[in-house]
Amino acid sequence: MVTREATIKSSTGLHARPATLLVKKASSFKSELYLEFNGKKANIKSLIGVLSLGVTKGAKVIITASGDDETLAAEEIVKVIESIEE
């Protein structure tokens, strides 16, 4: 299992469009991927799950990856999260 932290830079947090990008990227990996925010945890491959966390701008989130490609998956998810600046 690999754990990484990322900061949300998007002024609107993880709303529909950024969350969709995140889910699409996560779905390209075999590993199980989870996003934690404010004590809640959601599968990053689930759009409804990601949106249900209500992640806001400036929030620190924790990404957990577990599986064959966990290290690459965690790093790529962090890159996606920190590149979204709408």
- pLDDT tens for 19-42 read 999 999 999 999 999 999 999 999
| Chain CA centroid to CA 49, Å | 10
Say which of 4, 12, 15, 47 is annotated catalytic: 15
Checking if the pLDDT of 86 tops 90, the result is: no
Number of domains in the chain: 1
Q: What average pLDDT does the chain have?
A: 95
The string of DSSP letters for 2-13 reads EEEEEE---TT-
Asked if 63 contacts 6 with a C-beta cutoff of 8 angstroms, the reply is: yes
Q: What is the CATH number of the domain that holds 33?
A: 3.30.1340.10
Residue 15 annotated as catalytic: yes
pLDDT for position 85: 79
Measured from the Cβ of residue 22, the count of other Cβ atoms closer than 10 Å reads 23
pTM (predicted TM-score): 0.94
Checking if the pLDDT of 73 tops 80, the result is: yes
The Cα–Cα gap between 41 and 47 comes to 13
For 78, the domain range is 2-83
pLDDT for position 5: 97
